[in-house]
Amino acid sequence: MLNSRNNYRITTDSVPAWHDYDVLGVLGEGSYGKIYKVRERAGEKRVLVIKEIDCSALRSDYEALGEIDVMARMDSPFIVKYYDSFIQKNNKVNIVMEYCEHGDLHQLLRKRRDPTDESKHKYLSENRVWSLFI
């Protein structure tokens, strides 16, 4: 089903679906689901990410749909690109999005942190911060 107001597609049929992707690994896991690194089986064969959200763990299905709505509206080189989404019969919403090869800002900051001694944290220079956002 195409939402003409927001210009994104949510389907409950078989296209798109997991059979359209080869799973390359699990990138992360949380209380709401998993994030998979995948490769398209057809087309450009891009490496992408599928965020699988278990709606039964959410307060309402609208939380996942709200995330899809926000991501679909974003068009910025600084925000992960949304490609598609699909809903499985087992109450799981899957969001197909851009794979960030070098990780995200949170991962960068965690790598620079010394868990044994806060005084040894490697802070980012102002120029580095600006280069990440501009």
- pLDDT value for 6: 47
Average pLDDT over residues 97-120: 78
| DSSP element (H, E) containing 86 | strand 82-87
Residues in the chain: 134
Q: Supply the Cα-derived Rg of the chain in whole angstroms.
A: 17
Contact status, residue 86 vs residue 94, Cβ threshold 8 Å? yes
Cβ burial, residue 11 (10 Å; 0-12/13-18/19+): middle
> In this structure, which topology does domain 2-101 adopt according to CATH?
Phosphorylase Kinase; domain 1 (3.30.200)
Contact status, residue 64 vs residue 93, Cβ threshold 8 Å? yes
Q: Is the pLDDT of residue 72 over 80?
A: yes
- Summarised one tens digit per residue, pLDDT across range 8-36 is 455 444 457 889 999 999 998 987 889 99
In which residue ranges of the chain is CATH 3.30.200.20 found?
Answer: 2-101
- pLDDT value for 89: 79
